[in-house]
Structure 1
Amino acid sequence: MYVNRMLLTAALVVVALIVQVTVLARLQLPGAVPDLLLLTVLGLALVYGHTAGALVGFVAGLLADVAPPADHAVGRYALVLCLIGYAAGLTKPEAGQHRSATVPMLVVASAAIGSTLLYAGVGALVGDTAARQVGLTGLLATATLYDLLLAPFVVPLVMALARRGEKDPLGAEPGGGSAGGGMRAYGWLASGASLSPSGSGLLGKGGKPGKGVKAGKRTSRNKTMDLSGGGRSKTGGIKGVKRL
């Protein structure tokens, strides 16, 4: 299951990065660029949780830092997406999935604003003043608008693919029952076997072995007694298990 999760995550992140660099970045839209990579990280974090969301965000941001035509310090966007992925993963409910689209859309809006502010803040620390020249207010407005318009087409698809990859085809019990079936593979403990001489389980009537017990031989120091009833014992005239 973890291999499938890693392969799916890698494929989604790479595809999102390629589309963003080759298509969205060349649209020449006013203000910010629609952040398909951010939406992909959010969709995965909403399904996998905060720990996986932070890891996915860090790797996705690091790829964006080294992918051309990146012109900023390596690790800057990795830090931003790591924090955003962690925060988005915290909104994952304990039941496993969100019941409505309200929370994911709020997460998208908050992530668009938070990622822009964090990116500008980290840039200010390393001496990058590009956000001031473009205008931080315009970047916040356009980034939020573009991400909200793109989110209904990206986030549900990413979440559906992630949930589909979470289903484990090997979750069935070895005995043929499902994982939720509990003790179905061991049903003989509860429904059939009787340990008393009068039952029809391990010992049948008259002390004879039941159907589920194979005939065997038991050896002692003095003599050997055949449990299959091949002959009479020396001390008793009853076939089968020796009575004490």
Structure 2
Amino acid sequence: MRVNRVLLSAALVVVALIIQVSVLARLHLPGAVPDLMLLVVLGLALVYGHVGGSLVGFGAGLLADIAPPADHAVGRYALVLAVIGYFAGLIKPEKGQVKSALGPLFVVAGAAVGSTVLYAGVGALVSDGATRGVGLGSLIATATLYDLLLAPFTIPLVMALARRGEREVTGESAESGSSAGEAAYRWLASGSSSRGGSLLRGRRGGQLIGRQRTGLLGGRRTSNVKVSRIKGVKRL
């Protein structure tokens, strides 16, 4: 990933984690906690693609695993968000621009269901009882509802910031390429002009030398003619 992507992703993930831990988790809503980290990963994956989405998801999940008050095994949520970011990046729209608002909502709903099921499945494999005491159906329903309510306020903002960063990078590269091309063109133009000037000077110098030679030869010829005429007169 490029430096601008890493910096933007890190900033958005940290802000999302702070809001989720300090605000959303303290609301004590029934069922699941609104997953702002998941929405940030989805927004970045829809712009950066499957590779960037998986990397951002893994980093965001790992940060959530080690940030207090995490009560599950480290790496569990990192795996979940990496998989979700990868599959969300596979349906990345062309040029990162969404034509309809229904597309991201379907992606959010599928990601909420998939992340909840995958989180519970990984917990069952590693014998992590963090989701015990809460029904899986209730978690899926509440997680999907909360994420869909937060998506219109989160996904467009994240995608707009990511697209802006991409445009700035492409604009800088295009400007540097054009300036280099202009410099090369100027160098070629100056070189061609100097070469043209030297060629013109050489031609002019050759013409002058040729004229001098012709003038000298012409003078010699005229002097010979005069001498022959004088000799002829003397003979007569």
**TM beyond 0.5:** yes
Is the CA contact 1:173–1:185 (under 8 Å) kept in the aligned structure 2?
no
Structure 2 counterpart of 1:170, which letter?
E
Cα distance, 1:74 vs structure 2: 0.3
Q: Is the 8 A contact 1:66 1:74 kept in 2?
A: yes
State the Cα distance separating 1:89 from its structure 2 match. Answer: 0.4
Contact 2:39–2:154 (Cα < 8 Å) also in 1: yes
The aligned residue for residue 170 of structure 1 is: 172
Pairing of 1:13-24 with structure 2 (within 5 A)? 13-24=13-24
- Structure 1: give runs of 5+ residues left out of the alignment: 178-182, 210-226, 240-244
Aligned length: 207
Distance in structure 2 (CA, Å) of the matches to 1:63 and 1:82: 12
The more displaced of 23-32 and 132-141 is 132-141
Which residue in 2 is equivalent to 1:208? Answer: 200
Cα 1:201–1:88 shift into 2, 3 Å: same
Kindly report the root-mean-square deviation, in angstroms, between the aligned alpha carbons of the 2 structures: 3.2
Q: Is the 2:72–2:130 contact (alpha carbons within 8 Å) kept by the matching residues of 1?
A: no
Which secondary structure state, in structure 2, belongs to the residue aligned with residue 170 of structure 1? Answer: helix
* Aligned positions of 1:34-49 closer than 5 A: 34-49=34-49
Paired AA for residue 237 in structure 1: I
Gaps spanning 5+ residues in structure 2: where?
212-236
- Structural mapping, 1:33-112, within 5 Å: 33-112=33-112
Query: In 2 relative to 1, CA 185–8 (structure 1 residues): closer, same or farther, beyond 3 Å?
Result: same
1:64 & 1:175 partners in 2: Cα distance?
43
Q: 1:6 deviation in Å?
A: 1.2
One-letter amino acid of the counterpart of residue 19, structure 2? V
**Counterparts in 2 of 1:192-207, with a 5 A limit?**
203=196
Looking at structure 2, the residues matched to 40 and 94 of structure 1 have their Cα atoms a distance apart, in angstroms, of 19
Q: Which of the pair has the greater relative contact order for Cα pairs under 8 Å at 6+ separation? A: 2
Identity %: 66
How far 1:46 sits from its partner (Å)? 0.4
Q: Structure 2 length normalisation: TM-score?
A: 0.77
1:238 Cα offset (Å): 5.2
* Cα deviations by residue, 1:179-230 (Å, 9 ceiling, x for unpaired): xxxx877779xxx9xx9xxxx99648xx626xxxxxxxxxxxxxxxxx495x
In 2, Cα distance between equivalents of 1:41 and 1:93: 15
> Given the two structures, how large is their TM-score scaled by the length of structure 1?
0.74
The one-character-per-residue Cα deviations of 1:7-32 (angstroms, maximum 9, x if unpaired) are 11110000000110111011000000
